[in-house]
Amino acid sequence: MYEYIKGRIAELTPTYVVIEAAGIGYLLQISLQTYTAISSVTETTLYIHHIQREDAQIFFGFSQQKERELFRLLLSVSGIGANTARIMLSSYGVEDMVQIIATGNVGALKSVKGIGAKTAERAIVDLRNKVLNVAAVADAAPGIFAEVTENIDEAISALTILGYPKSACEKVVKAICRENPALTAEAIIRQALTQL
How far is 141 from 161, CA to CA, in rounded Å? Answer: 30
**pLDDT, tens only, 54-104:** 998 999 999 998 899 999 999 999 999 999 999 999 999 888 898 899 888
Q: What is the 3-state secondary structure (H, E, C) of 68-135?
A: HHHHHHHHCCCCCCHHHHHHHHHHCCHHHHHHHHHCCCHHHHHCCCCCCHHHHHHHHHHHCCCHHHHH
pLDDT tens digits along 97-110: 988 998 889 999 99
- pTM score: 0.69
Q: Are residues 70 and 91 in the same domain?
A: yes
Secondary structure (DSSP) of 49-61: EEEE-SS-EEEEE
Q: What is the CATH number of the domain that holds 75?
A: 1.10.150.20
Domain range enclosing 54: 4-62
> Can you tell me the distance from the alpha carbon of 139 to that of 153, in angstroms, rounded to the nearest whole number?
19
Both 40 and 26 in one domain: the answer is: yes
Q: How far is CA 53 from the centre of its chain?
A: 22
CATH number of the domain residue 185 falls in: 1.10.8.10
Residues 46 and 14 in one domain: yes
How many structural domains are present in the chain?
A: 3
Residue 187 burial (10 A CB sphere; 0-12, 13-18, 19+): middle
* Residue 10 vs residue 190, higher pLDDT: 10
Residue-averaged pLDDT of the chain: 86
Check whether 165 has a pLDDT greater than 50: yes
What's the gap between Cα 112 and its chain centre?
A: 18
